Amino acid sequence: MNAQQKFDAAIKENNSLVCLGLDVQIDQLPQAIRSQRNPLFEFNKAIIDATHDVVATYKPNIAFYEAYGIEGLKQLKMTIDYLHKSYANTPIILDAKRADIGNTSVMYAKAVYGYWEADAVTVYPHLGLDAVQPFFEYKHKLTILLLRTSNPDAAKLSDLKVNEKPFYLHLAAEVKSWNKENAGIFVGATYPTQLREIREIFPENFFLSAGLGAQGGDAKEAVQAGMDKNHGGIVFNASRSIIYASAGADFAEKAHEAAQKLRDEINSYRI
Amino acid sequence: MNAQQKFDAAIKENNSLVCLGLDVQIDQLPQAIRSQRNPLFEFNKAIIDATHDVVATYKPNIAFYEAYGIEGLKQLKMTIDYLHKSYANTPIILDAKRADIGNTSVMYAKAVYGYWEADAVTVYPHLGLDAVQPFFEYKHKLTILLLRTSNPDAAKLSDLKVNEKPFYLHLAAEVKSWNKENAGIFVGATYPTQLREIREIFPENFFLSAGLGAQGGDAKEAVQAGMDKNHGGIVFNASRSIIYASAGADFAEKAHEAAQKLRDEINSYRI
């Protein structure tokens, strides 16, 4: 089973397009967790155990672990190992946003797929094909190309007009010309029009989106713009709104509630 | 002393514009090093001890350590600690090529400046200012923006014409409008014309370039295009051509020779 099939199966199994972002910060964790030996891992484990039946995939953003150095990265490894061991059918997206020239990308690809054992990873396509080819060599993995990020200033450069067409559509056309089956596509949910345009260019590819929750996108528009012809083929990431739904002892229970609520809301627009 | 001053002082002290890339791969190391407990660190230590008087700065690319997981990253930390302890005046560029939206960039900035204790780090400006602002908050550090990479396919997107002007010049204009004193600029040395154009836009900023050696740029053109009005303000990275100058027991001695030769060649064009 390749990564895209693993994603499709997980979406079907839990009837969910929710991607849960494990973007954990020690100072945001409940007090009882903070004092433990491996607080990031213990928090993740409790969140995963509570939510595994309502989400399609987990997406740790590696920045949140790197910030705590080797100690943080060890707990990321523990989290990924725990997922593989306890929930082997649940795919893992490592949100690493890597990009470098060819011989360095070989090492990043080895890191994210070989060492971290992610099913999918986010990378920038802006340097051209030779810079991302080493990721695509891992044929059973899904390499997700960031076509349009969701931050406010992204538009300044992404929307620059090149021959009457915004830059991000040239980027999309360039990526399309690579003709990679194992390419995933990222477009922020805060831009449903762009999401729809880009979905039309890539009708078969798997999509990752983000920004429905904390960043305030319109959920209905984004879901309908992003899903494929089978009303799936995309996951929407949410993180803080779910994992920090409660700062008390009931954080895992509240995270389950919040994830289920988001799943059901998204599903109501999938018809 | 801020990072740019530290770079200027190191360039003057060793009369060198050489940046030595510590991009180490275990299978490229001399046999005697490979069998040691911390081969990446032991190799780096020997290279640093042999070259510290002829280079301006060291630039480990974090990808080469991430590929070996926690074990590799521990040896990167050992390398950086060794540099700070033994050669405190030598600045360190962590080549990490990070880029993410604001709240995640806060964590990456904490990682590279707080945990890794780099003097400078490479980041992509393509997402706009809000995504890199957290790096600039570290005012005494140098955040190096990748304006034009040196890989063959980079031109496809970088050179797209927007109102008769290539995209990379729009990117440069956008970065210029941020007006950041603690911004460094990266332009590949394989494109001396672009290097000259971008140096004219940023006459005062510190530059990092690469591709004189293994990637085959014309050294004379690149040096004259990239230096500032004081014939400095830029370093040129070389890695494999120096650190792997010999695969034998004399690797450190040969690395010193190769670094010195590159320094002297670059200096011959600085007049």
Cβ-defined contact of A63 to B105 (cutoff 8 Å): yes
Catalytic residue among B97, B220, B254, B261: B97
Q: Write the residue in B74, B151, B174 that is nearest to A130 by C-beta.
A: B151
Q: Write the residue in B74, B149, B160 that is nearest to A127 by C-beta.
A: B149
Q: Write the residue in B64, B67, B151 that is nearest to A131 by C-beta.
A: B151
Size of interface A-B (CB pairs under 8 A): 151
Cβ-defined contact of A151 to B101 (cutoff 8 Å): yes
Q: How far is CA B34 from the centre of its chain?
A: 26
User: Residue A261's domain spans which residues?
Assistant: 3-268
DSSP codes joined into one string, A227-258: --TTS-SEEEEE-HHHHTS-SSTTHHHHHHHH
With CA atoms as reference, report the closest residue to B246 among B3, B23, B31: B31
pTM > 0.95: yes
**A271 pLDDT tier (thresholds 50, 70, 90):** confident
DSSP annotation of A209: E
> What does the pLDDT read at residue A54?
98
Closest alpha carbon within chain B to A154 = B127
> What does the pLDDT read at residue B153?
87
**A260 pLDDT tier (thresholds 50, 70, 90):** very high
Interface test with A, best of B151, B159, B191 (most A CBs within 10 A): B151
Q: How far is B101 from chain A (nearest CA, A)?
A: 6
> What does the pLDDT read at residue A245?
97
Q: What is each CA distance from B65 to A61, B39, B73, B78, in whole angstroms?
A: 19, 11, 5, 12
Closest alpha carbon within chain B to A123 = B99
> What does the pLDDT read at residue B112?
98
Cβ-defined contact of A128 to B152 (cutoff 8 Å): yes
**B217 pLDDT tier (thresholds 50, 70, 90):** low
**B212 pLDDT tier (thresholds 50, 70, 90):** confident
Cβ-defined contact of A161 to B162 (cutoff 8 Å): yes
Q: How far is B85 from chain A (nearest CA, A)?
A: 19
> What does the pLDDT read at residue B211?
87
> What does the pLDDT read at residue B92?
98
> What does the pLDDT read at residue B188?
93
Cβ-defined contact of A157 to B126 (cutoff 8 Å): yes
Q: What is the mean pLDDT of chain A?
A: 95
**For residues A47 and A255, is the Cβ–Cβ distance under 8 A?**
yes
**A156 pLDDT tier (thresholds 50, 70, 90):** confident
> What does the pLDDT read at residue B175?
97
**B271 pLDDT tier (thresholds 50, 70, 90):** confident
> What does the pLDDT read at residue A151?
85
Model ipTM value? 0.96
Q: Write the residue in A70, A97, A153 that is nearest to B70 by C-beta.
A: A70
DSSP annotation of B137: T
Secondary structure E strands in chain A: 18-21, 57-59, 93-98, 120-123, 142-148, 161-162, 165-166, 183-187, 207-210, 234-238
Which residues on B lie below 8 Å from A69 (Cβ)?
A: 77, 111, 115-116
> What does the pLDDT read at residue A13?
98
> What does the pLDDT read at residue A217?
58
> What does the pLDDT read at residue A213?
55
* Per-residue model confidence as pLDDT tens digits over B87-143: 999 999 999 999 999 899 999 999 999 999 999 999 999 999 999 999 999 999 999
Cβ-defined contact of A111 to B67 (cutoff 8 Å): yes
Lowest model confidence (mean pLDDT) among A176-180, B78-82, B166-170, B202-206: B166-170
Q: Could you tell me the CATH number of the domain that includes residue A99? A: 3.20.20.70
* Per-residue model confidence as pLDDT tens digits over A113-153: 999 999 999 999 999 999 999 999 999 999 999 999 878 88
Q: Write the residue in B110, B111, B157 that is nearest to A128 by C-beta.
A: B157
**A211 pLDDT tier (thresholds 50, 70, 90):** confident
Is B9's pLDDT higher than 70? Answer: yes
Q: How far is A13 from chain B (nearest CA, A)?
A: 31
Residue B226 and residue B89: Cα distance in Å, rounded?
Answer: 24
Could you identify the residue written with the tokens 């939206």? B101
Q: How far is A230 from chain B (nearest CA, A)?
A: 31
* Per-residue model confidence as pLDDT tens digits over B237-266: 999 999 999 999 999 999 999 999 999 999
Per the document, the length of chain B is 271
Instruction: Work out how many domains chain B is built from and give that number.
Output: 1
Q: How far is B25 from chain A (nearest CA, A)?
A: 9
Catalytic residue among A97, A176, A220, A261: A97
Percent of chain A with pLDDT over 90: 89
A139 is a catalytic site residue: no
Could you identify the residue written with the tokens 């140096």? B199
Residue A71 and residue A26: Cα distance in Å, rounded?
Answer: 12
Q: What is the mean pLDDT of chain B?
A: 95
Cβ-defined contact of B160 to A167 (cutoff 8 Å): yes
